[in-house]
Amino acid sequence: MRKKIVAGNWKMNLTSSQAHELVSSLALASDTFEDVYVACFIPAIYYNALKEKSDRLIMGLQNFYPENSGAYTGEIGIEHLRDLQCSHVLIGHSERRMLFGEDDACVKRKVDAAISNGITPFFCCGEPLAVREANEQLSFVKQQLEASLFHLAEEDVKKCVIAYEPIWAIGTGKTASVAEAEEMHAAIRSWIEERYNHQTSNKISILYGGSCNASNAKELFASPNVDGGLIGGASLKAESFLEIIHSF
């Protein structure tokens, strides 16, 4: 049975007081989450203060450097994640790929580092507008998976969550249609089955991550292969995030 997951990616947002207020509101409502796993990927500076607010909220980090320690000024290493007892991390987000030059080889290193240290990767993949307009989105996303995720052993890939985020729909107000989202999610699941087996393909949760909000979440989550969402702006306010969580 695949997990239903709603995860918020705060990105570089919220002050300390705003973060505490948001998590406190989510914690108060956590008994309504039922069978939905709820995660918040938060700025690292808030992690210790927020991680124990509720045992129904998963706290994760948005980024890390795939070395234990060393001369990497400004980075957060694996040793830091272990010390924080961080259990979940985003890997391969389009902003890390596009703004910070993280290529498939870098993403693969991060996947390997997370898995070898018992940290659950939320592996992000997705195509830019030019690729979508050229109708090459399926081959583009398949290549991302083959380059950075499908080298894992079956027992390890089952530990991952995949988030499909069409880059052209992130923060633009545009959203893939339900049919477009389902097409990609179904394709991803078929590639997992092709590389591994049916049991593995039916184990991995695949989230939609392109401008999912309270108005479209219910329809998206009703799709057979959409197991939840990786939410950006709508995760920054308790009211809209809770409405998405309750959309299953």
Domains of the chain, residue spans: 4-245
Q: Does 93 qualify as catalytic in the annotation?
A: yes
Q: What is the pTM for the complete model shown?
A: 0.96
pLDDT digits (tens, 9 = 90+) for 122-164: 999 999 989 999 999 999 999 999 999 999 999 999 999 999 9
The residue with tokens 């406190």 is 24
Instruction: Tell me the mean pLDDT in the region 238-243.
Output: 97
Mean pLDDT of the chain: 95
168 confidence band (pLDDT: 50, 70, 90): confident
pLDDT of residue 210: 82
Catalytic-role residue among 93, 95, 182, 185: 93
Q: Is the pLDDT of residue 198 over 80?
A: yes
pLDDT of residue 22: 98
174 confidence band (pLDDT: 50, 70, 90): confident
Catalytic-role residue among 95, 127, 165, 182: 165
Dihedral sign from CA coordinates of 104, 109, 114, 116: positive
Q: Does 183 qualify as catalytic in the annotation?
A: no
Tokens of 151: 């080298």
Fold (topology level) of 4-245: TIM Barrel (3.20.20)
Secondary structure letter of residue 233 according to DSSP: G
Q: Is the pLDDT of residue 190 over 80?
A: yes
> CA–CA separation, 13 vs 42, rounded Å?
9
pLDDT of residue 169: 82
pLDDT of residue 1: 81
pLDDT digits (tens, 9 = 90+) for 26-54: 999 999 998 999 999 999 999 999 998 88
pLDDT of residue 54: 87
Residue pair 49/16 in contact (Cβ under 8 Å)? The answer is: yes
